[in-house]
């Protein structure tokens, strides 16, 4: 895991430098599209249950209501009126997640790992599901790579525990490649469960 942490930091710095023009364009587009901050911040569960503030490029109008599915997962839809025009593009391409490069540099997240949940989700975890907190959360993970938003929260938890139990550099590479494929082909973007 120390090697993974070092790789995260190295690639985080390299990507921030290489992607800085794209990050600037995204920030300008968000500002021109709607009023409000460029970065959306939200409390999330990190490694060992530590709470941290996750960063995302803002995709919704300011003060949009928080709508959840029955299982507590985030509601996603192609016709969500809370999402701005630029936000819709950012979500479909997953570019809104690029702001989490700063979370990686701060040591709060990794490129690959279980997606971080809201702190109130902790009370819904079974003892087995709590093991997902044994590793740093990731920008992408097993569920996001292979299913994106097409499965229920309980299935995502099972996949998170599978990741923790089977962690390897090879698995991380497979998840990364599957994530790229999922984003390019825009598969399983919305959860219509």
Interval 142-186: pLDDT, tens: 998 988 777 888 889 999 999 999 999 999 999 999 988 888 876
Domain ranges of the chain: 2-183
pTM of the model: 0.86
106 close to 138: Cβ distance less than 8 angstroms: no
149 close to 120: Cβ distance less than 8 angstroms: no
117 close to 74: Cβ distance less than 8 angstroms: no
**Which of 26-30, 82-86, 149-153 is the least confident region?**
149-153
């Amino acid at each position: 895991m120390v090697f993974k942490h070092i790789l995260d930091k190295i690639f985080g710095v390299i990507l921030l430098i290489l992607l800085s023009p794209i990050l600037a364009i995204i920030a300008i587009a968000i500002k021109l599209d709607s009023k409000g901050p460029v970065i959306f911040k939200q409390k999330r569960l990190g490694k060992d249950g530590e709470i941290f503030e996750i960063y995302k490029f803002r995709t919704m109008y300011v003060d949009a209501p928080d709508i959840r599915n029955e299982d507590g997962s985030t509601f996603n839809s192609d016709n969500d009126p809370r999402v701005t025009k630029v936000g819709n593009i950012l979500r479909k391409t997953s570019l809104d997640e690029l702001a989490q490069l700063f979370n990686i540099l701060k040591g709060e997240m990794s490129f690959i790992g279980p997606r971080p949940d809201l702190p109130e989700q902790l009370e819904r975890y079974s003892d087995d599901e709590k093991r997902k907190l044994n590793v740093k959360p990731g920008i992408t993970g097993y569920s996001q790579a292979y299913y994106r938003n097409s499965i229920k929260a309980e299935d995502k938890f099972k996949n998170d525990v599978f990741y923790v139990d089977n962690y390897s550099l090879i698995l991380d590479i497979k998840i990364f490649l599957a994530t790229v494929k999922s984003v390019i082909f825009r598969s399983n973007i919305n959860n219509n469960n």
